[in-house]
Amino acid sequence: MAKTYVINCRDAGVDCDFEARGATMEEVMEKCAEHGIQNHGMKGFGPELYTKMQRCIKILDE
C-alpha cells in the first residue's frame, strides 16, 4: 500500500480550497510553500511556518 501525503489550507486555518498531494512530505511541503507565496502573498516560508504546516499533513494509505 502506497502512502499519500496531503495538506490543505483549511487545516491551517486559511479560507482557501487548495490541497496538495504527494508521495513524500517534502513534495507536499514544496507545493504548499509555492502556493502560499503565489496565492497568499507570503514573502517566504520560514522554519516556524514550515513546522506549523508540517503538523497539518495527513498521511493516507492508498
Q: Indicate whether this model's pTM tops 0.75.
A: yes
A 10 A CB-CB count for 29 gives 19
- Phi first, then psi: give them for residue 36, nearest 5 degrees: -60, -40
Name the H helices within the chain: 25-39, 47-54
Domain with 34, as residue range(s), is 3-61
What is the structure's pLDDT at 24? Answer: 97
- Overall number of domains in the chain: 1
* Sequential pLDDT tens for the chain (62 residues): 899 999 999 998 999 999 999 999 999 999 999 999 999 998 887 899 889 899 999 999 98
